[in-house]
Chains A and B, each alone.
Chain A
């Protein structure tokens, strides 16, 4: 561990907005900093593709801010385990890598929440974010009839992107009702003034697309692939013909790493103090894992974590007001887009909950908790290790589907077996 490229004062796991901000703050404070990410690009899922295009808006600013520092960047590097205190084991293109840290900042983002409903496993039913990734990768949607159903501001952003990629966006169904949306809209000028411009831009690009609050998809139909979706509102139930149904019900904090390190979690999020430090001394957590809040909250929490990790508590403290405002915005979002009971409960007894192990809802019903259900149905024991069904059963039954057994991500056995402590793979 004497190798200079394998030991850092501050290691930031995840290079989304929170990670970039944290790494920049730590490096600007003179700490020898490494920021690593599983992807080949910087910016995380939210700024995917921005780096290659030279960036724009806040992505461009934050990428430039990081690049102006001495922070070391490791791409395509996935943390899979913590073999010893103060050491991460990661898989990288050059092979297994051990990375020593004195202070750790976890900025590992969130994942989409998938809620099972009858027909959700048909080809043609996709996650909103997943389809955005395909579109950004150049996947054509020319002439495809798309229904977007789910909850949250992402519905707008996705609709605009799909349309720009040539899709015929038939309908955007937002499960939350108009009253809640209106109250949320009214709170925007106070909580997040810039969101108004953003919303206006999306609205303009979605001109002519029906946006229905208080409406949700109850089932998808089709023989071999999706042919239509049945929707419901307080007034009626009807079917729309479509080629693609994009669903998204919000996000879930990624908590595998915090749990691996024994950091306390509560209500599905990591618990941190006002310096972003977790219950484990020396481990800071920022961004979505502490509570879904989007880019704004991620950036301010990232900065606070970076400054705190560098011991600059006073500098971090100056961001407190911004942080509080970002958290108020998160709470307003949570209230506005809270999932209605009908939506949590769409799965029929035959609906698959665990797609890896083919476990239907009726197989789970007999059990009182996640552990018993998992043991006896093998729900969550497949390749995704409960990343998808875990969120679904949390919403369906209130089960805590936490798992913290290594590896954090599926990994080549060679990586676990024979890590070569060292340096390869680090690049600026």
Chain B
């Protein structure tokens, strides 16, 4: 689905955020990128929808080199969810959800139907919520809408930049569960950035652990916990978390 081929990003101040990053993300895979802050995970994510342009290397989506695509058109075909949620405060919930359909010129009836469908997907009654404004919703509800907005035109690929990072622990837990179920149901390819190891272990099919712009280890949650590549990996996961994970596995 997505192929990173020796992708590097050097910022103008000389800082090398991402170094020779190569990876293949499979169709329908839930890939979580994790690492300490400044490890280059968000930079890598934003290069996929060209909010950041790589200095060298190529990213392919499907078979297509994304630098050959029109960035505006490219972004409409990729779902994008950000940590700060970023629902437009001047738009009602329905307008927030159907923003990409509007950009693509869908008919009014089709958009309305899609909004209802999506709200029902997260069990929010369209009658109640469609006309409300973001400021009238709780943080958890807002980010549900943030996710729906990314799903609106059914993009096969969704990028998520610490989407649940700003929520309180209980809401975060609920949303993670909901989202995992949703992802299985809709069979999307997801690239998900987080700094929360619990979240990564819970959601990921595969985890990419990064440090200083480079991949330290790629593997399933099991592989990372059971055979960490080095000291950094095991420290980053943490011994108590490893114990807990193994215990819940054997149970």
- A and B: interacting chains: no
Interface positions of A (Cβ within 8 A of B): none
